[in-house]
Chain A
Amino acid sequence: MSIQTTVSTPADPRHCAPPSAVRLSAVTKDFGDVHAVRGIDLDISPGEVVAVLGPNGAGKTTTIDMVLGLTQPTSGHVEVHGMGPREAVSHGLVAAVMQTGGLLKDLSVRETLQYTASLFARTTTVDEVLAVAGITEIADRKVAKCSGGEQQRLRFAMALLPDPALLLLDEPTTGMDVEGRRAFWAAIRRDAQRGRTVIFATHYLEEADQYADRIVLVSRGRVVADGTGAEVKALASGRVVRASLPEPDPARLRGLPGVDAVELRGDQVLVHTTDSDAVARYLLCETGAHDLEITSQGLEDAFLNLTGAQDQTEGAQR
Chain B
Amino acid sequence: MTTATLASADELLTDRRVPPLGGFNLTMLGIELRRILRNRRTLIFTLIFPATMFLAFGTGTGTAERIGDGNVSAYVMVSMGLYAAALTAAASGAMVAVERSLGWSRQLRLTPLNPVAYVSTKAIVALVSGAMAIAMVNLTGAVQGLPQMPASTWLACGVVTLVCTLTFAALGVFIGYLVPSENVMQILGPGLAVLSFLGGVFIPLEHGSGIWHVAVWTPMYGVAEVARAPLTGELTWYAVANAVVWFVLFVAGAAWRMARDTARV
Contacts and interface: CB of A to CB of B under 8 A. Distances in A.
B23 A104 contact: no
A194 B8 contact: yes
B110 A121 contact: no
B142 to A, nearest CB: 32
B213 interface: no
B229 to A, nearest CB: 38
A230 interface: no
Contacts of A297: none
B186 interface: no
B265 A70 contact: yes
Interface class of chain A by DSSP: loop
B106 to A, nearest CB: 6
Given A68-B110, A70-B109, A101 B25 contact: no
Contacts of B34: 111
Nearest to B112: A90
Contact of B31 (A46, A102, A115): A115
Interface residues of A, number: 46
Interface stretch (A9-17, A122-130, A252-260): A122-130
Interface class of chain B by DSSP: loop
Interface residues of B, number: 39
A95 B112 contact: no
B2 interface: yes
Interface string A151-189: 000010011000111000000000000000000000000
Contact of B2 (A93, A98, A105, A128): A128
Contacts of A195: 8-10, 12
A89 B111 contact: yes
A114 interface: yes
Contacts of A106: 35, 38-39
A111 to B, nearest CB: 6
B122 to A, nearest CB: 13
A70 B103 CA distance: 13
B18 A91 contact: yes
Interface in B1-58: 1-2, 5-10, 12-13, 15-20, 23, 25, 27-28, 31, 34-35, 38-39
Contacts of B19: 90, 119-121
Contacts of B18: 90-91, 121
Interface string B102-122: 111111111111000000000
Contacts of B108: 119
A47 B12 CA distance: 11
Contacts of A120: 19, 23, 111-112
Given A107-B35, A114-B31, A119-B112, A132 B1 contact: yes
Nearest to A117: B27
B106 A70 contact: yes
Contact of B113 (A111, A119, A163): A119
A96 B107 CA distance: 9
B38 A92 contact: no
A222 to B, nearest CB: 24
Contacts of B20: 121
B99 interface: yes
B185 to A, nearest CB: 14
A201 B34 CA distance: 36
B7 to A, nearest CB: 5
A81 interface: yes
Contacts of B13: 46, 81, 93, 165
Given A69-B109, A70-B106, A70-B109, 18 more contacts: A68-B109, A89-B109, A91-B16, A91-B17, A92-B16, A98-B107, A102-B106, A104-B99, A104-B104, A115-B31, A118-B23, A119-B28, A124-B6, A128-B6, A155-B107, A194-B8, A194-B9, A195-B8
12 contacts: A70-B109, A98-B107, A101-B104, A101-B110, A102-B103, A102-B105, A102-B106, A103-B107, A104-B104, A124-B6, A131-B1, A165-B13
